[in-house]
Structure 1
Amino acid sequence: MTEMDVGSEFTWDDQVAVRSVHFHDPAAPAATTVTPSVFVAVHDEQGRFLLVQRRDSGAWEFPGGRMDVGETAMAAAVRETAEEAGVRVRITGLVGLFSDPAFVIRAVDGRIRQPFVVCFHAVAEWGSPRPDEIETSDAGWFEPEQIETMTLEPGACRWIHHAIAGSGEPHLE
């Protein structure tokens, strides 16, 4: 698995950078807030994983995003997967908790966040992968061997690796 360059600013359609992601980048700005986020390792009967391609960076990751106020982590995971990939899921377990303070995102609004990621295991209940064309430009099922060669969103490589490894114990950090 490869990750995007750390500290990169991403552009899309010749517009201003949407956001910048810093993963273990000594030049990263200091985070001002911790943001609860969820990502979902959805697998199908063939052992393939659902990934989405970000519109802003072109990198791949599990479907997911920030939780909304008043929402549980599991509800956010189901919502984000349906929104970003068009697939309804049932949560089946926990990949892990990821809270690396050296993973920092500067959002388009200028806020600098440290994501606190809850990554779930899930199975698809219905739907076919399709991008939302807002945050995602592609979505599909991928064999673990294919994922090893894909360009992944910075930071996402960790939870993808743990999900594919399939450890019986969740990763905790």
Structure 2
Amino acid sequence: MKRSRRIDHWRDSDAPKPTSRKASASVFVLDEQGRVLMLRRTDNDLWTIPTGGVKKGETVAQAAVRECQEETGLNVAVTGLVGVFSTPDHVIVYMHGDKVDEVRQPINVCLRARVVGGGIRPEPAEAREVRWVEPDQLDDYRIHPAIRLRIDHGLEDEEPYIG
């Protein structure tokens, strides 16, 4: 069976046209030392914050908490809003083998959260690694620009981003 993968496009005029828009939730978590919770995805090998689709019957906050626990092993409590990210500059192609399953223009709600329990335990299907990253070390990691935008807004501690 061929493995699923994703290809992220950013400000790419040659990117395929979206076939869907779906809501997702991400969670921006800092530890007591001010380090950012990051994971390395299995489908594109990029570093990201915990992120995933909002399922039927759950709130955006519930999705963010669930995704964080599933991907990292950490239980979090939502404490605020980083922003709403819906730019047409970001298009994601989901592939299964050589077949395009979906071309998505995401709508992401990024929430702030703090750890309330659990322990780092990467989910092998979604995360190769999970670690706490010093903000001044972020440039050493391969992070998609759309995710980096969320992280940068989370670190700036400004009013929520809407865009």
Residue matched to 1:118: 109
Aligned to 1:172: 162
Deviations 1:86-109 (A, max 9, x none): 100000000000001121111125
Structure 1 runs (4+) greater than 6 angstroms displaced: none
CA contact (8 A) 1:18 1:56 kept: yes
Aligned to 1:89: 76
Q: Distance in 2 between matches of 1:136 and 1:38?
A: 17
**Contact persistence 1:130–1:140 (CA under 8 A):** no
In structure 2, which of residues 137, 152, 156 is the aligned counterpart of residue 161 of structure 1? 152
Query: Residue 148 of structure 1: CA displacement?
Result: 2.8
Work out which of the residue numbers 45, 52, 55 in structure 2 matches 1:58: 45
Q: Is the 8 A contact 1:21 1:154 kept in 2?
A: no
Separation of aligned partners in 2, 1:103 and 1:118: 14
Q: State the SS of the aligned residue for 2:25.
A: strand
Q: What is the TM-score normalised by the length of structure 1?
A: 0.87
Take 1:56 and 1:103, find their aligned partners in 2: how far apart are those partners? 17
Unaligned runs of 5+ in 2: none
Deviation at 1:70, TM superposition (A): 1.1
**How many residue pairs were aligned?**
158
Structure 1: give runs of 5+ residues left out of the alignment. 1-14
Q: State the TM-score, normalized to the length of structure 2.
A: 0.92
How much identity, in percent, do the aligned residues show? 39
Distance 2:34 2:118 in 1: 17
Whether the 8 Å contact between 2:7 and 2:44 is mirrored in structure 1 is no
* CA RMSD, Structure 1 to Structure 2 (Å): 1.3
